[in-house]
Amino acid sequence: MGIPVEDITGLVLAGGRGIRMGGVDKGLQNHRGIPLALHALLRLQAQVGQTMLNANRNLGAYESFGVPVWPDTSADYPGPLAGVLAGLERCETPYLVTVPCDTPNFPDDLVARLAEALQAEDAEIAMAATLEDGALRTQPVFCLMHTHLMESLVAFMQAGERKIDRWTARHRVAVVSFDDASAFANANTVAELQQLQHGG
């Protein structure tokens, strides 16, 4: 018996500073006619029961996507974990899955495969990974987790910690390998965004 889709809430993380893209709001950058974050949201909506978005500026623009938008609880852009925490605080289902706003082509079976591994390995977190140059590289922002991990994350961040992999390392993690590394290609810079525009 797998995890029912309606038990999973999807969260698109669009709360970063966009420093490597010149400080622009990365999730709102145009990709093939629509904002990057909307690509991610539409792809995620097909895989989960409900969706929401984490953003820290231009909230009205994000709200126009038609899903709840939650900013970080702290104001200094502490990184993706703050966005994850904002999602966990608002999540009303037993599971939360996160994806970044700048990776519009992540796999259509991402959530299904993470959910399968989470159950099969009795894990608390299931994380995507890709094989690159012969080594398995985890993609920690592509992550399905039990919502009961919120207390652990609050304590971790209150201790001044911010690194996502240091937090996930404290829990039982199932790593799910995906064959197509290009599906996880992201746009951190203008050049990378242009590459995505011309890619598959």
What pLDDT is attached to residue 11?
98
CB burial string 1-33: b at 16+ within 10 A, e below? eebebeebbbbbbbbbebeebeeebbbbbebee
What pLDDT is attached to residue 161?
87
User: CATH number, domain at 101?
Assistant: 3.90.550.10
pLDDT in tens, 114-162: 999 999 999 999 999 998 888 899 999 999 999 999 999 999 998 988 8
Return the higher-pLDDT residue of 14 and 134: 14
Query: Residue 91: which of 61, 59, 53 has the closest Cα?
Result: 53
The two tokens of residue 171 are: 């829990």
SS3 content of the chain, % helix, strand, coil (to 5): 40, 25, 35
| Beta carbons within 8 Å of 42's beta carbon, 6+ residues apart | none
Instruction: Give the structural domain span for 64.
Output: 5-198
The two tokens of residue 184 are: 């996880």
pLDDT in tens, 53-88: 999 999 999 999 999 999 987 766 567 899 999 999
* N residues, the chain: 200
State the angle between helix axes of 150-158 and 80-90 in degrees (0 to 180), rounded to the nearest 10. 140
How many folded domains does the chain comprise? 1
CA separation for the pair 98, 12 (Å, rounded): 6
pLDDT in tens, 24-53: 788 898 888 899 999 999 999 999 999 999
What pLDDT is attached to residue 80?
86
The answer to whether residue 22 scores a pLDDT higher than 80 is no
pTM recorded for the entire structure: 0.92
